[in-house]
Amino acid sequence: MSAQSNTMNGKILVVGGYGNVGRTIAVELGNRFPGRVIAAGRDFRKAQAFALETGMKVLPLELDVFNIRDDFMLPDEVSLVIMCLDLPDTTFTKRCLRQGISYVDISATYGLLSQIELLDAEAREHNATVVLSVGLAPGLTNLLAAHCKSKFERMESADIFVLLGLGEAHGEAAIRWTIENLDSEFDIWDEGMKMRVTSFGEGKQTIFPYGTGARTAYRFNFSDQYVIPRTLKIPSVSTWVCFDSILTTHLFALYRRIGLFSMLRFKPMRELLVRAFKTLHFGSDIFVIKVDAHGTVAGRNAHYECAVSGHGEGRGTAIVTAEVAASLFATSFSPGVYHMEQLFDPNEMISRLKDKGMSIYA
């Protein structure tokens, strides 16, 4: 970290702050910095009602980040923005950086994250720090991969396994992102070479800790597997997903094999599935993130694995984000654009998450 004035003399703006994940982030930060956190969104009545629920530890603001005028400026007191919405481009992000406002983005869409990466020079010019890959996957997955790397002289591969419970009431944005990626093709890095794969097109077995047991997980289009080969210099990285319901996991793999996911290219079918997932909740709210790593120690092949478990994927994302934001708000970091694993010590962050009720296997 280099010298940079911290943001403690300002306020934290949570965009989407009364939404499914944003409200938990706002409450966590509002308890630490009462009166210094702003929940922003298009509906001021919802923002105000939420602020009243917090006893005004969180303040309301009407803000539509999808319709930014040419003369738009954020309030002068804002020194940190947390973006909980998937933006179509970097227009709003650029406005933040040009005002010298630091920025945290919880998006899992690599197309957007890669656009923000290109703003590194602008962030440095205006003395702002941007942190990407914040949440569970990407985010916690990146940190666990960094933790694994510290155990090797050279780390050759990381298989990242994500188990998600279907009993949680997810926000619409998260459901929509998942459904849109069920029929996706994407590139991964395998032994330093790009390889084209498909979501749910290939499965891999693993044994999850905490009594979850053996499961088959399937490839999915998480952005961590694009980022980690660059930031941690690991030649092979793949991310795999399964659900707490074994039957649902296998059905998704079957639908891929027989071509049913191709129907999701039609908007009415996507909308029908979004509504179904918003309405139907079954199973538990558990999540487990596990990294299975291989490399060399003292010239010999070695294996290491670690995992983190908790309840509520949305809450887990919010807790990780709040910890990152609290550090950024109170501490001096170098200006520029970074992914989470490039700025934060994995052991320290994992310890902080343990204090928040997550179970650690490392």
Do 156 and 274 have their domain in common? Answer: yes
Residue written as tokens 């992102």? 177
Domain check: are 127 and 20 in the same one? Answer: yes
177 by DSSP, 3-state: which? helix
What is the average per-residue pLDDT within 117-140? Answer: 97
Does 270 share its domain with 323?
Answer: no
pLDDT at position 171: 75
Q: Does residue 286 sit in the same domain as residue 339?
A: no
Whether residues 95 and 168 fall in one domain: no
* Choice between 6 and 145, residue whose per-residue pLDDT is larger: 145
Give the model's pLDDT for residue 5: 42
Note whether 295 and 156 are within 8 A (CB): yes
Same domain, 293 and 328: no
Average pLDDT over residues 66-73: 86
pLDDT tens readout for residues 11-61: 999 999 999 999 999 999 999 999 999 999 999 999 999 999 999 999 999
Supply the DSSP symbol for 298.
T
Q: Cβ–Cβ contacts within 10 Å for residue 146, how many?
A: 24
Peptide bond into 138 cis (omega under 30): yes
Quick check: is 155 in a domain?
A: yes
9 or 322: which leads in pLDDT:
322
When the pLDDT of each residue in the chain is averaged and rounded to a whole number, the result is 93
What percent of the chain is modeled with pLDDT above 90? 80
Asked if residue 229 and residue 113 are part of one domain, the reply reads no
Question: What's the pLDDT at 175?
Answer: 85
Whole-number pLDDT of residue 224: 96
What is the residue range of 111's domain?
Answer: 11-134+315-344
What are the beta bridge partners of residue 41?
62
| Amino acid 3: pLDDT | 38
Q: Are residues 196 and 120 in the same domain?
A: no
Distance (Å, rounded) from C-alpha 100 to C-alpha 129?
A: 9
**Per-residue pLDDT for 4 more than 50?**
no
What average pLDDT does the segment 186-204 reach?
94
pLDDT mean over 192-206: 95
| pLDDT at 84 exceeding the cut of 50 | yes
Give the distance, in angstroms, between the CA of residue 69 and the centroid of all CA atoms in the same chain: 28
Please, are residues 40 and 61 in contact by the beta-carbon 8 Å criterion? yes
Q: What is the pLDDT of residues 237-296, one digit of tens each?
A: 999 999 999 999 999 999 999 998 888 888 888 888 888 887 777 788 999 999 999 999
Q: Report the CATH number at residue 267.
A: 3.30.360.10
Give how many domains the chain has, as a whole number. 2
Contact 356, 136 (CB under 8 A): no
Q: What is the pTM of this model?
A: 0.93
CB 285 within 8 A of CB 167: yes
If asked whether residues 144 and 249 sit together in one domain, one would say yes
Which two tokens mark 149?
């790397």
- Model pLDDT, residue 188: 95
Cross-strand bridge partners of residue 288: 163, 309
The 3-state secondary structure of 50-70, one letter per residue = HHHHCCCCEEEEECCCCCCCC
When pLDDT is averaged across residues 339-346 and rounded to a whole number, the result is 96
Give the pLDDT confidence of 139-188 residue by residue, as tens digits: 999 999 999 999 999 999 999 999 999 888 777 778 888 898 998 999 99
